[in-house]
């Protein structure tokens, strides 16, 4: 078929102003055959009315369960040959859907096709939002090198593949996309393309970003399943570990005396420098794109984000080990 029907499925929870921009961008798509399904996840704002007034089919969840169950519910009501999952705070470039259709048609072995985020924020233009836009462009959905990552926020899946593989796992929180990638790659290929682009509205303050990074890293460590691979994130994870190690190294340098103190004082900056070197492309991109003033701001925030992510992951691993220990003790007690 020349123009297959594409079902754009948008989970929505409030933020009707941003949803309107998202829907405007969907209406401006060059692909001529699109149905839009907005899943209202028990929001308190007028997002559902905004969606309906803009011609979208509106489906409502029974309870607020987050984007994963909302995506699955939207897929149940979709009639398209291709399901295009899109977060409500992302405005696609006009050719995004057409490019997704073209790539899926020319690569029939691809079962999940991911997009990328542009390095500009959609609405918020605070320094923190600009940092997050650049960081996520380079770090979260990198188009500049091969990647094993997959994100459900900009994701096209043939309907037949979605029916075969099954819906997103609603039990998972931060690793739902990784889990879905593992399931898809058992029978199909996964591809990421910078021909599918969107502009996301990013968090406006650094504390909000740090809280989100910590929570996601902690939950990812708790939710990690055997068979999932970290992909590009290995060097970044090592960098985070180095930043964590710099804290006790600094404390040790303060308690030692004499020559040992002077030698120990060199360790923390060396660990920080090594961590930055492992992600040098990201720092360089920020300087090249926005200049030295923003580059310095970016570097400070990025070090804090990398450290916070590593700390959240360490807390999650500790919790995971503690839960495993408690489960083992419970089994032993049940056997006695």
* Per-residue model confidence as pLDDT tens digits over 202-242: 999 999 999 999 998 998 888 776 655 554 567 888 999 99
Give residue 209's pLDDT: 97
Decide if 306 contacts 243 (C-beta within 8 A). Answer: yes
Average pLDDT over residues 307-318: 95
pLDDT classification of 146: cutoffs 50, 70, 90: very low
Tell how strand 57-60 and strand 34-40 pair up.
parallel
Q: What is the mean pLDDT of residues 274-301?
A: 96
d(CA 238, CA 220): 16
Q: Tokens at residue 232, please?
A: 């590009």
Tell me which of 25-39, 134-148, 280-294, 310-324 is least confident: 134-148
For CA atoms 317, 323, 327, 332, give the dihedral sign.
positive
Three-state DSSP state, 126: coil
- Range with the lowest mean pLDDT among 87-96, 112-121, 250-259? 250-259
Contact 71, 11 (CB under 8 A): yes
Mean pLDDT of 115-130: 96
Q: To the nearest whole number, what is the mean pLDDT of the chain?
A: 91
SS3 state of residue 318:
helix
For residue 31, give the 3-state DSSP assignment: coil
pLDDT for position 160: 97
Low-confidence winner among 114-123, 250-259, 281-290 (lowest mean pLDDT): 250-259
CA distance 298 to 290: 10
Q: Which residues of 88-111 are buried (b: 16+ CB within 10 A; e: fewer)?
A: bbbbbbebbbbbbbebbeeeeebb
* Nearest partner of 88 among 126, 116, 48, 125, judged by Cα: 48
């Amino acid at each position: 078929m020349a123009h297959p029907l594409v079902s754009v499925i948008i989970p929505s929870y409030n933020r009707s102003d941003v949803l309107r921009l998202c829907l405007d961008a969907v209406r401006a798509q060059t692909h001529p055959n699109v149905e839009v399904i907005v899943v209202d996840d028990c929001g308190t704002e007028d997002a559902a009315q905004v969606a309906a007034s803009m011609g979208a089919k509106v489906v409502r969840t029974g309870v607020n369960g987050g984007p994963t169950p909302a995506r699955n519910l939207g897929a149940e009501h979709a009639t398209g040959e291709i399901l295009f999952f899109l977060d409500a705070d992302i405005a696609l470039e006009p050719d995004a859907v057409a490019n997704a259709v073209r790539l899926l048609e020319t690569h029939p072995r691809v079962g999940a096709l991911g997009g990328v985020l542009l390095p500009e924020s959609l609405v918020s233009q605070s320094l923190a939002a600009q940092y997050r836009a650049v960081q996520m462009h380079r770090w979260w959905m990198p188009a500049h090198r091969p990647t094993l990552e997959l994100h459900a926020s900009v994701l096209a899946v043939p309907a037949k593949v979605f029916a075969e593989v099954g819906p997103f796992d609603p039990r998972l929180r931060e690793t739902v996309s990784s889990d879905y990638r593992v399931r898809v790659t058992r029978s199909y290929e996964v591809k990421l393309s910078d021909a599918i682009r969107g502009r996301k509205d990013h968090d406006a303050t650094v504390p909000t970003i740090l809280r989100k990074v910590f929570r996601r890293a902690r939950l990812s460590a708790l939710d990690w399943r055997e068979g999932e691979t970290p992909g590009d994130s290995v060097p970044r994870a090592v960098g985070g570990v180095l930043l964590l190690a710099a804290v006790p190294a600094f404390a040790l340098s303060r308690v030692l005396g004499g020559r040992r103190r002077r030698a120990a004082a060199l360790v923390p900056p060396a660990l920080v420098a090594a961590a930055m070197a492992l992600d040098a492309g990201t720092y360089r991109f920020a300087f090249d794109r926005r200049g030295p003033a923003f580059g310095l701001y970016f570097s400070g925030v990025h070090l804090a984000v990398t450290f916070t992510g590593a700390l959240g992951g360490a807390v999650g691993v500790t919790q995971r080990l503690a839960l495993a220990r408690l489960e083992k003790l419970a089994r032993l007690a049940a056997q006695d």
